[in-house]
Amino acid sequence: MAGDIFRELWVRLSRHPGSCGKWSQTLPIAETLKSILVAIAVLVLFSFGPVQADDPLPKGEGRNLVTEKCQKCHSFDLIQRVRGSREKWSGILDEMANNGLVLNAKDTEILLEYLATHLGPSPRK
């Protein structure tokens, strides 16, 4: 639609380049359309913000492991809702290992520490 409008303006201006009346009528429209298109482009560009801005997981050692290992099958919301002690998280990781999760001993320790520290039991209300 905008392309058609600009094309029509270009055709009209090409036919009558010396006509001051045409320039004075079409130039404000072209400037307005240009401003609208620039505003739309800026909004589209800013709508693709950094992915981490939407990442609800707290920063800390092990966060990348959660992203790499857990998010393959589970959303961040689900991971964050499952709060528990280190023992509970250990049981969950054992269960996930039975479902195909592969972790070495070091990664398991880092992951357990992160989950217990940042996603431990919720405080009682």
- pTM value is 0.54
- pLDDT at position 114, please? 92
CA 60 to chain centre: 20
Residues 6+ apart with CB under 8 A from 117: 60
- pLDDT at position 13, please? 58
Closest by alpha carbon to 93, among 60, 116, 76, 117?
116
- Which residue is it, tokens 């992915």? 51
Q: Which residues of the chain have pLDDT under 70?
A: 1-3, 5-7, 9-27, 45-56, 123-125
Residues 6+ apart with CB under 8 A from 97: 103
Q: Is the dihedral of CA 46, 50, 56, 60 positive or negative?
A: negative
